[in-house]
Homo-oligomer: A and B are copies of this chain.
Amino acid sequence: MSSNFSITEENYIKAIYHLQQATGSVTTNELSASLLTKPASVTDMLKKLKVKKLLHYEPYKVFYLTAEGKKIALNIIRRHRLWEFFLVEKLAFGWDEVHEVAEELEHVGSKKLVDKLDSYLDFPKFDPHGDPIPDVNGKMSIVQQVNLTELPLNKLAQVTMVGSQSTELLELLSHKDITIGTKLEVKKKFSFDKSVEVKVKNLAPVNISEQLAKVLFVKPV
């Protein structure tokens, strides 16, 4: 039994979910920008999602998912992240290559497939980018994490999440020998360019630019 919603509807639901994580609600323009469609198309879909009781929506107001809408969003995100995990762990994809493929796989709705995949992967809690994977009930692990720029000096911490999935970021992190899970300490902060000197394991310290630090999230250990 595949999902009751079209691929298009699922993509809207997921996009609304992600956007409303920031402020609790979304605007037409934000959503149209995020989906690369025109605001007029968004309005059409909002009406449709309202009829299906997935969205709280009144004309000219901000909108947000109903409890049911959120449940469906979490299920799509579950599928997306499980497939990303599969692609990296089993098929040896790089984490910069998995998003587009997962964007398609996430729409295969068979519950049996998803739950068996979850079990096969040993119920992973985080995807290759460090984002939490909702479990079969939609529950996700919350990690008490901070941006690397906010980590105090000499406090041992572990990289938990990256804020970008670009090939360029992966290249840079590979070069610096940093992945999700890497333990590090900030040894020095330079006010001139806001770069930080970081010690990874027992290796020589490496310099991390402000731009890089901003996309690295860590959990003190």
> Within 8 Å CB of A210, what residues of B?
none
Interface residues of A, CB < 8 Å — how many? 20
- Contact between chains at B101 and A110 (CB < 8 Å): yes
Interface residues of A in 97-133 (CB under 8 A from B): 97, 100-101, 104-105, 107-110, 112-113, 116-117, 120
Interface residues of A in 62-90 (CB under 8 A from B): 87, 90
> Within 8 Å CB of A91, what residues of B?
113, 116-117, 120
- Contact between chains at B101 and A113 (CB < 8 Å): yes
- Contact between chains at A108 and B105 (CB < 8 Å): yes
Determine whether A144 belongs to the interface, using a CB cutoff of 8 Å to chain B: no
Determine whether A2 belongs to the interface, using a CB cutoff of 8 Å to chain B: yes
Interface residues of A in 124-158 (CB under 8 A from B): none
- Interface residues of chain A, those whose CB is within 8 Å of chain B, are 2, 87, 90-93, 97, 100-101, 104-105, 107-110, 112-113, 116-117, 120
- Give me the 3 closest cross-chain CB pairs, A-B, nearest first: A91-B116, A104-B108, A101-B110
Q: A91-B117, A105-B108 are known contacts; what are 9 more A-B pairs with Cβ within 8 Å?
A: A90-B120, A91-B116, A100-B110, A101-B108, A101-B110, A101-B112, A104-B107, A104-B110, A108-B108
